[in-house]
Structure 1
Amino acid sequence: MDSAHDALPIYTMLEHDDVSSIIDLNLRRSGQLVYNEMNINSDGVPVCPINRKMICWGKCSGRQRIKWRCPAKVGKWECPTPCSPSEYGRTFYTSTADNPRLFPRIRRDSKEWRKRYAMRTGVERCIKRQKVDYQLESSRGRSSRHWNIRVYLIAMCQHADAWFEEAKKHKTLPTIQQWLNESLAG
């Protein structure tokens, strides 16, 4: 879903149904993201007091939460004002159970998120093609039968378009006559 669906009740419902959510944070609506007095960036990653992203230090499987460490103590950055006197550095924990909107099951800065997000945008392009290019909504049909037939025909056209594009990539475009002969022979 896109950022228009960024609402806590939607995340709660998806968690209840055991579904991993792939929804962008809507930064226009939420403004500054703060959780337990810690700033959170648009990827759902805690930010230290000097505005550096904290480093993910793995999952605590027993408590179902993610551990984050200070980037200065991990060795990623020099820190002029350490936020913790500890040798280990400041740690921060996030949990999907506490706030599924800010901390979904799949971290927003992970490869898995990007992979699933790419699939989501593919579906959006498909729906746009049906609605805009094939003018699905301009149909004047009133019955569900009419809408079903129209959707099936559009799906067949999309499938034929995909075949055509794949054939263009492999430079195996048959002529119209060859295609007709093969379809009539079958």
Structure 2
Amino acid sequence: MARRHLAAFLDILIAFPTLLLAMLVVAARSAPLGSSVLAVGPAQSTVVARLVRILVKRALAQDYVTAARTSGPSWPRTVAGHVLPNIWPTRVVNLARQFGLAVPAEAGLSCLGLGAPPPNASWGRMPQEARATFTTAPAGAVAPGVVPVVLVVGVNLIADGLRDTLDPASRGRRARRSSMSAV
């Protein structure tokens, strides 16, 4: 019963727009630097919690987990040895996706004046401050817009590589490919 309520609560939070929730949290708090992190983090974590719940349920229903549980190891050992290695590749890609959503959300809050206060740097406030000098020094406005894009693409590429390395199913495919190329 409590699990259903938790799942329903997560669904409600997922349906709530992240940026709107972040704006409400920042407006309710007085410290904008911590508020933007506190606002974007929990909003993104609902998606993470929902995905982990689905992946764990799927992994627990697999025959190899049932066989491992009946062979005698403790529950934590079964989870660590069989469930986590099989959900981790998907989680790595999802974490990169969540990071790719959190960076523009924080930049948007900063651009609206709801992010880090002026002594701190923010990719959202930098282009806003550089608008006055855009005609004479366009790099001051363009670079803070390009760098987050490069960062998010780089994190996604690293996550894809980690997924390929960590995925137990792809390990078998890589071994077959390398043995076939040796022939």
Point out which structure has higher relative CO (alpha carbons under 8 A, 6+ apart).
Answer: 2
Normalising by structure 2, report the TM-score.
0.28
Structure index of larger Rg: 1
Give the TM-score taking structure 1 as reference length: 0.28
Question: Greater strand share, 1 or 2?
Answer: 1
Normalized per residue, which structure has more helix? Answer: 2
